[in-house]
């Protein structure tokens, strides 16, 4: 069993909880409220801005151009491709994507981004991969799960979102890129570093679940 297979096995209860979360189920059923979609997009826009910053820090730690290119491609992916699922939510909610950008982070989103930034600023490249991996991995599995369970057609309000994140058999994507690099890194990592990578990964998985909870409940700071 590879290192990332071990991580996935340990995190399985969190993945299963994400699949059954009411926000994820609401995507599958097409039953989410506009306010929930809007809150999600506002927070995810800022969250992904942090992802871009961490990719930049990861490039700084790379010692070869192949890894540099991979992280650079992911910056482009966020800027130019991951706007499509956001636009799907905005279309259903009846709002303009541009009107939902640069909002204040809610407590959970703030916690998640600080967790990732802390690891990026003080951890190894392997730790950065581990802290980032749950985001693409959980989303790919959500897309696969919803596509299999709901079998949406083009009339489904979130057809584009589900198809964006679901994977074709044998398709290579950022999840597989990150997994292969993390597995390779883990082969020479110390026992302590592997424990650190596992802790970062599991915490990010927990915060992925919390992000859906935040969006569903439209979480805000208690005193504004």
List, by residue number, the catalytic residues.
Answer: 135, 208
CA distances from 133 to 7, 18, 101, 138, 169 (A): 10, 15, 24, 8, 20
| Contact present, 77 and 174 (Cβ < 8 Å) | yes
């Amino acid at each position: 069993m590879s290192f990332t297979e071990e991580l996935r096995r340990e995190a399985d209860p969190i993945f299963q909880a994400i699949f059954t979360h009411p926000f994820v189920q609401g995507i599958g059923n097409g039953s989410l409220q506009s306010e929930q979609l809007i809150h999600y997009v506002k927070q995810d826009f800022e969250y992904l801005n942090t992802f871009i910053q961490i990719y930049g820090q990861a490039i700084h730690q790379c010692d070869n151009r192949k890894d540099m290119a991979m992280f650079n491609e992911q910056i482009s992916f966020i800027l130019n491709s991951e706007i499509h699922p956001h636009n799907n939510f905005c279309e259903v909610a009846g709002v303009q994507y541009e009107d939902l950008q640069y909002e204040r982070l809610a407590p959970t989103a703030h916690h998640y981004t600080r967790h990732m930034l802390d690891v990026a600023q003080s951890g190894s490249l392997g730790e950065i991969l581990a802290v980032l991996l749950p985001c693409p991995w959980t989303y790919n599995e959500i897309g696969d799960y919803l596509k299999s369970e709901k079998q949406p057609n083009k009339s489904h309000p979130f057809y584009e979102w589900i198809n964006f994140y679901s994977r074709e058999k044998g398709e290579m994507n950022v999840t597989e890129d990150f997994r292969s690099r993390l597995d390779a890194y883990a082969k020479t990592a110390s026992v302590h570093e592997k424990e650190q990578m596992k802790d970062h990964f599991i915490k990010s998985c927990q915060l992925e679940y919390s992000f859906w909870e935040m969006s569903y409940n439209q979480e805000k700071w208690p005193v504004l």
